[in-house]
Structure 1
Amino acid sequence: MPECGIGREAAGEFDPSEQGLESRSLESKVLDVIADATEIATKNRMNADYVPGILTILRRDEMMALGVRTVAEALTLVPGVVIDRRQEGRFTASFRGLDNGNNEVKVLIDSVPLNNSLAGNSTYFELPIAQVERIEVIRGPGSALYGESAFAGLINIVTYSQPYAHLRYGDNGTTEVGAIYRFDDPERDLSLRVNLAGWDSRGADLWVERDLLHTIGLASVSNAPGPVDSGEQYRFGQLKLDVANASLFAQYQFSRKNAFFGSTGVLPDASGRNNRLDDSQWLLQGRVDFAPMANLNGAFILRWQQVESFFDKLLRPPGAPAVPDSPLLPDGLYNERWLSAMSTKAETFLEWTGWDHHKLRVEFSIARDEGLDAWRAFNADIFTFEQLPEMRRYSGELATFTPDAARTVSSLAIQDEWSILENLDLTLGARYDHYSDLSDSFSPRIAGVWRINDRHVVKAQLAGAFFPPTLLQRYYVPLPPTEQETPDRPQRVHTAEIGYIFRKPNTVARLTLYYSKLFDIIVTTPEGIFNRGKERLKGVELEWEQRFWRDFKLDANLSYADTLNEETGGPIPGAAKWLGNLSLFYRPRKEVLLAGRWRYVGERMRDPLDSRSDPLNAYNDVSLTLSWFDVGTKGVTLRAGVTNLLNASIRSPAPLDTYEYDYPLVESRALWAQISYTFP
């Protein structure tokens, strides 16, 4: 499909040799209103305003100028997106008010999928923005092209490719380092990139008042009121090797979360036994591209992924029972848990451009997901709930999931990009996924983009998507073991979207309307994990990017979401109706940039059965950042900033009957500073 006259520079595509210093990139990107190019929507490079679906691109220089540190923070710049934390410290992303705790967003790094078969989540949230070139985000279904997990949205994190190093300190005792190495040999058509980063944080100074034990009348043995141990660590390593038409991609991620809020709504003792949650992920992909004919090209891809999770947490403090009416536990109840799973996948695709005005793409893949090992240990008997002198391990049929947890998935996807007229494009697509242990899924898509003229674009899309139960959800074993229903079909969504884009020099405005119906939602309750209920989402999203004069630019967005859980008759718990962002960039001198951001998260509603009848309060988060380029020598950049300038109380919603005042994440302002060097 043609790019409709959008050249390389206008499309935001820059040759690495031209990128140069951050200050030069600043002049060409941060203060300009540009048209980006992307492959995420159709897997073919196009102007981002002309792709089907609703797309946002977050650019490196703008994110850095705003002081954004991690991918999690960056995603809050996207209309309709809220990032929260779960009780054990893991992040979760809510798109358009949808958050059932299933991580229903497909995540890729450099177009390589990250979601794992074990629990569906990945550790991408913690990746430092200093290692990232841009983040491409699709709001809405993406299963017609990307398959499972592309349910509420799709995220592609494109890593930075230029030689670079940075050091950052602040943000509640966070120390972060990162470096990028690149080697190119044009004569042998060889390119090597290595990307390494890591950070450690002692966490914010947080305090909670009342936890679950207060609710059930055991306040005397609770650690609350008390401090929260929110320390964490993150490590990232990536290698990309390209030789002629072949490539190798290797990646490692590790994330450690300290005690946080406890996995059962009970505050762990921050000064007691080591409480942690470790998540590790290894990924290896090989790819060979081929073009047997002038109008035919394709690729063959092999991918291997392994994930591991180790959990060591306090479930009940000394003096509390394991469950109601069971014996009191003098030493408390501790749980250790180990899970590991592996996925292997082979896929191939062909693209045909031999027919006028058409670009056909056919993909086929087959994958095997299987649990490798699982065990759990307690310092209490799981049948009698009596205290044990040491930890007792349970494996096999008593492990967290059954030993035969495995599935085979085969998929076929077809897409046709059809230029009906010079200014009217239609994208037709469909995907069929066959699961060995679940019902099959069919994901259609029809989308149109009408470029009325150079200033006005209208787009519309009808699409379906699905999210299958993970291995942990499908093969979960409760304790004590009981016959229990588990989800046997994917949850599904049907979405209609219509968007309007207005563009002129120095101005871009976007308006999006959407309506979604969800079926067979996978929910986790004390009684088990089920396919249950229906939900409805509808809303509007507004975006505005404006350069007022040479040295000043504004980015703003506002979104409204109306959610309905048709089973309860109330809103989806935790959904915010109103979200907003306002970012300002001002350059008083060529080497200095001032940036500020105001983020608004509106009230979030409760479950109708929640005794906390009042919504979770709205908050305003304001941050300021100063960037100083070419300090002393070309390529050196100093940045400093303040986050949460207004000392807002920033909290994530806690489940009913657990923490009365939800999960505090940030309670006070914090300072930070960073130095970086872009190698010539």
Structure 2
Amino acid sequence: MKHIGYRTLALASALALQAPNAMAQLAEEEDLAMAYGDKSFVTIATGSRVPVHRAPAVATVITAEDIAAIGASDLDEVLETVPGLHVARSTQTNGPIYVIRGVHRDANPQVLMLENGIPLSSVFSGNRGNVWGGMPVDNIARIEVIRGPGSAAYGADAFAGVINIITKTAADIGGTEIGVRAGNFKTGDAWVLHGGKRGGLEVAAYFRAGTTDGQRRTVRADAQSGWDRTAGTSASHAPGPIDVGRKAIDGQLDLAYDKWRFRVGYKERDNVGSGTGVASALDPTGSSYSQRITSDLTYLNKDFARHWEVTAQASFMHYKEFSDLTLFPAGFRFTPVSPVFTDGMIGNPYKWERHGRFNASAFYTGIADHRIRLGAGTEKAEIYKTRESKNFNPDFSPIGTGSVADVTDVSDTAPFLRPHSRIVRYAFVQDEWSFAKDWTLTAGLRHDRYDDFGGTTNPRLALAWEAAYNLTAKVLYGTAFRAPSFTEKFNINNPVQIGNPNLKPERMKTLEAAVSWLPTERMQLSVNVFHYEMRDIIQLVGTTYNNTGEQKGRGLEFEAAWDATKNLRLAGNYSLQRSTDEASGEDAGLAPRHRVYLRADWRFTPGWQANAQVNWVADRKRAAGDTRPEIDDYATVDLTVRTLRGRDKWDIAVSVRNLFNADAREPSPWGMPFVALPYDFPLPGRTFLAQAGYRF
């Protein structure tokens, strides 16, 4: 293997191993005061609370207490701790790619993200939006992650995995909290949370505003560097810093009364930097804006009738995304004889989306040893407006001299996409059958009918055996699908990426086996193995999207947690995967084959806790055809010291991420006629962060 930062690992291990010696000085009878929250149940697997070890899925639960312990300020930092999940980086505004079990695609539509069980997906690209801009963690109560297929429960895009973000309720907050956070890169946040009850009405409110210039690590060469060599120009801004700055506003109001709950949320990202450039050419002046408004109304009656629990939900999401970009800088041209773009190749795509959903489901328990769930729903998703201005023609030739003055509104003549809509109707059934002592069989089936490509049916089966009071084994099988995005179906006026209205959904089937064991009261162990097959993968053939790809993968994931003493908890996980591109017979590339995560939580004095974590990412292969050397492995170490939540009204935390300033990089995609980012995506160096919160 490549260099993996052995010095880093050794120093971090020494730090963790010194903890027991120091803790020997503490009173042995002192209780462990670290609260990790209730991680024993999960709701994402079946739609109701079930024990994690018996859930019909391989699931991970992360609580607000976990998030605070590791000093995380953004969702990506939390998800990197999940076994089998790695956070890579995209060419689109340096957004996150949640790589689950080796499934790595730049737009990342194969992972479904939910907020309180409701999808956040953009129909344009099938992901969370190309201008994501991060998600703060201050209002997160729990995160539940399924690795593996979830289409039998959630439909489209629950393909490689599902991530459900559960926000805080009035009971979770229990009063009012204000907080501030500051760090290097001119990073600053401020937030307020309030949760209370007035009569029968429960109110939870959250507001946060923040800004950052983002990390400024150097991009040594970019796509324009390649065009400079081809065309004899010198227009590139490389070497130059990556641009990941942004301004952010987040808010949510949660009202609950009796059997009803109403939520409305707001997420705005402004001046979002273009990362390494959306065309992989540094764009120091480009910026993007996104706004997401969500609302949902839920009715839940656990005693609707004898043996019946009923839920009905209506939700709406409005999403808009504006980008003002210089794709290639001033002085750019394709060949030595091509016209020069005086002010660079400029493109400004704008789009507006609407999503309306309604669903109803019911649990029936009137048959002995069965818990049956029935449900149906519908969704309308649409891009109802697009707008585009640019200074180049569909064949990439400049309009006029390619100046700012030549930027032309082409919304009615040659836009990147015209308005389109999609209607989905679905129905599902699921049965949890305890057919014998200690044995549970969960069987589910869901059918989705799309008005633009037809129907798809996805089953799942899960057999769980509680072999002993401390040992559970389960075998799982399921299928999943990923609906083609509007970009893949309807893209126009782009000579290198043309949509195909005849696309079918991508498909996957997965077989898994898992074991959970508690050998002692202080230790938890679990391991699972998996095998999956993907087919009809949507990818470009020449310049048009087609269903052509196939990928197979296999691997294992191991987790352990040990309360070594009354004041020290050690935990970690190891992930191994092998994914093969069937067309080339080679590794599918880009995703780590090995990943190790280690964590130590130490209460070194009453009221204070230290956390150390190590993340080792190793053995990432290049994509087929990419002749660059394999990308180096890396290991990062994070440290956090914080006060424990108790009677004190103040909470204080100080964190250092990437303590040893490792040169960590994520692999960039391969393409012709040259590799656009030959030295890959640089990750942040050493980062300092301090925060303080006051509760009253």
TM over 0.5: yes
1:27-62 Cα offsets, whole Å, 9 max, x none, are 2524x9x75222111111111111111011112222
Equivalent residue letter for 1:168: R
Structure 1 outlier segments of 4+, above 6 Å: none
State yes or no: 1:663 paired with 2:681. yes
CA distance in 1 between counterparts of 2:121 and 2:586 reads 30
State yes or no: 1:89 paired with 2:88. no
In the alignment, structure 2 segments of 5+ residues that lack a partner are 1-29
For residue 153 of structure 2, the aligned residue among 145, 161, 168 is: 145
2:596 alignment counterpart:
580
Contact conserved, 1:437 with 1:488, CA < 8 A, in 2? Answer: no
Contact conserved, 2:597 with 2:616, CA < 8 A, in 1? Answer: yes
1:64 alignment counterpart:
68
2:584 alignment counterpart:
568
Change (3 A) 1:52 1:25: farther
Contact conserved, 1:644 with 1:669, CA < 8 A, in 2? Answer: yes
Give the C-alpha shift of residue 590 in structure 1.
Answer: 1.6
Give the C-alpha shift of residue 146 in structure 1.
Answer: 0.7
CA distance in 1 between counterparts of 2:563 and 2:206 reads 33
SS in 2 for 1:452: strand
Give the alignment of 1:231-630 within 5 angstroms. 231-256=245-270, 257-268=272-283, 270=284, 274-290=285-301, 291-321=303-333, 326-383=338-395, 384-386=397-399, 387-388=401-402, 389-396=405-412, 398-403=414-419, 405-479=420-494, 485-486=500-501, 488-503=503-518, 504-524=520-540, 527-612=543-628, 614-629=629-644
Change (3 A) 1:447 1:397: farther
Give the C-alpha shift of residue 300 in structure 1.
Answer: 2.0
Contact conserved, 1:298 with 1:348, CA < 8 A, in 2? Answer: yes
Contact conserved, 2:490 with 2:500, CA < 8 A, in 1? Answer: no
Change (3 A) 1:509 1:487: farther
Equivalent residue letter for 2:524: V
State yes or no: 1:174 paired with 2:187. yes
State yes or no: 1:75 paired with 2:79. yes
Give the C-alpha shift of residue 603 in structure 1.
Answer: 2.7
Give the C-alpha shift of residue 467 in structure 1.
Answer: 0.6
Give the C-alpha shift of residue 397 in structure 1.
Answer: 5.7
1:227 alignment counterpart:
241
Equivalent residue letter for 2:186: G
1:261-315 Cα offsets, whole Å, 9 max, x none, are 11112122x2xxx311222211111122344411112122211111111111111
Equivalent residue letter for 2:202: S
CA distance in 2 between counterparts of 1:90 and 1:411 reads 31
Contact conserved, 2:378 with 2:423, CA < 8 A, in 1? Answer: yes
SS in 1 for 2:406: strand
1:175-198 Cα offsets, whole Å, 9 max, x none, are 11222111213x4x3211112223
Identity %: 24
Give the alignment of 1:146-225 within 5 angstroms. 146-160=154-168, 161-162=172-173, 163-185=176-198, 187=199, 189-216=200-227, 217=229, 218=231, 220-225=234-239
1:447-504 Cα offsets, whole Å, 9 max, x none, are 0111111111001100000110122222111335997635621101000000011113
2:40 alignment counterpart:
36
Change (3 A) 1:95 1:483: closer
SS in 1 for 2:557: strand
1:110 alignment counterpart:
116
CA distance in 2 between counterparts of 1:563 and 1:524 reads 20
CA distance in 1 between counterparts of 2:35 and 2:641 reads 17
Equivalent residue letter for 2:360: T
Q: TM-score, normalised by structure 2?
A: 0.89
Give the C-alpha shift of residue 122 in structure 1.
Answer: 2.1
Between 1:523-532 and 1:467-476, the stretch displaced more is 523-532
CA distance in 2 between counterparts of 1:449 and 1:586 reads 35
Contact conserved, 2:491 with 2:498, CA < 8 A, in 1? Answer: no
1:403-433 Cα offsets, whole Å, 9 max, x none, are 3x11111101110011112311110001000
2:103 alignment counterpart:
98
Give the C-alpha shift of residue 323 in structure 1.
Answer: 7.8
State yes or no: 1:639 paired with 2:647. no
SS in 2 for 1:72: helix
2:18 alignment counterpart:
none
State yes or no: 1:45 paired with 2:58. no
Between 1:289-298 and 1:640-649, the stretch displaced more is 289-298
SS in 1 for 2:494: coil
Change (3 A) 1:671 1:486: same
Contact conserved, 1:165 with 1:678, CA < 8 A, in 2? Answer: yes
Change (3 A) 1:69 1:338: same
Contact conserved, 2:354 with 2:383, CA < 8 A, in 1? Answer: yes
Contact conserved, 1:487 with 1:529, CA < 8 A, in 2? Answer: no
CA distance in 2 between counterparts of 1:152 and 1:560 reads 15
CA distance in 1 between counterparts of 2:502 and 2:524 reads 44
CA distance in 1 between counterparts of 2:103 and 2:408 reads 39
Equivalent residue letter for 2:81: L
Equivalent residue letter for 2:676: T
In the alignment, structure 1 segments of 5+ residues that lack a partner are 1-23
What is the number of equivalent residue pairs in this alignment? 644
Change (3 A) 1:232 1:94: same
Give the C-alpha shift of residue 215 in structure 1.
Answer: 2.7
Equivalent residue letter for 1:150: A
